[in-house]
Amino acid sequence: SPEIARFVRERYAAMTPQERVPIGAEMFDTARAIVFASFPPNLTERERRRMLCQRFYGNLFDAAFR
């Protein structure tokens, strides 16, 4: 709801950078774990990282690595 979105936005805005950075890092780690869990288990580490970047950054990743 708009009220919840406003509350969350205000809460993060009230935090110091020292409070926000660890929260952002933890959210990234959680997102990465969810994405890795969706990959086939037989991929190499390089393939997993490439697929992770493609999933997160889409066409930006492809354009940057051509």
**pTM strictly above 0.85:** no
The percent of residues above 90 in pLDDT, for the chain, comes to 76
* Backbone angles phi and psi of 40, in degrees to 5: -60, 145
37: nearest Cα among 57, 51, 23:
51
Instruction: Find out whether 35 and 52 touch, Cβ atoms under 8 Å.
Output: yes
What CA–CA distance (Å, rounded) separates 14 from 9?
A: 9
Query: pLDDT tens, 40-54?
Result: 999 999 999 989 988
pLDDT surpasses 60 at 66: no
Report d(CA 26, CA 30) in Å as an integer.
Answer: 6
